[in-house]
């Protein structure tokens, strides 16, 4: 998951890294991706939505893009010299019908 040659980043959506102490903050970091639907997957998805239930193609797509957003946030945090990101939040918004923006944000800190 993490790019090579980078310090190991602790990630957490709590206000601190459990079992560690924060000694420096580097401010807010965020990463986002905008993903549009795939045509082939879209046809299958619209057929699957007749009967309802899980749309596996979209599940994969969103998980993939959320990881990418997280990755961008990690790169930004590592660039500032932080070794952890705390209080991570995720948010998704539909910018147009068929395209979604996935955003991950948190506070870059240094922990011991």
Total residues contacting another protein (rule CB under 8 A)? 36
Q: Contact, 76 vs 103, CB < 8 A?
A: no
By beta-carbon proximity to another protein, the closer residue of 24 and 92 is 92
* b/e sequence 43-68, b meaning 16+ C-beta within 10 Å: eebeebeeeeeebebbeebeeebbeb
23 lies in the binding site for another protein (CB under 8 A): no
19 lies in the binding site for another protein (CB under 8 A): yes
98 lies in the binding site for another protein (CB under 8 A): yes
Q: Contact, 9 vs 2, CB < 8 A?
A: yes
The count of other CB atoms within 10 Å of the CB of residue 109 is 25
- Write the interaction track for another protein spanning residues 46-85; mark x where CB under 8 A is met and - where it is not: x-xxxxxxxx--xx--xx--xx--x---------------
Contact set with another protein (CB under 8 A): 10-15, 17-19, 45-46, 48-55, 58-59, 62-63, 66-67, 70, 88-94, 97-98, 100
């Amino acid at each position: 998951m993490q790019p090579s040659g980078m310090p190991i980043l602790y990630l957490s959506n709590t206000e601190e890294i459990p079992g560690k102490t924060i000694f420096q903050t580097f401010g807010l970091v965020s990463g986002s991706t905008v993903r549009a639907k795939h045509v082939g997957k879209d046809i299958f998805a619209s057929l699957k939505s007749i009967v309802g239930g899980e749309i596996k193609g979209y599940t994969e797509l969103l998980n993939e893009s959320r990881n990418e957003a997280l990755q961008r946030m990690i790169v930004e945090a590592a660039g500032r010299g932080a070794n952890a990101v705390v209080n991570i939040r995720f948010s998704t918004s539909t910018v147009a019908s068929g395209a979604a923006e996935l955003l991950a944000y948190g506070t870059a800190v240094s922990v011991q």
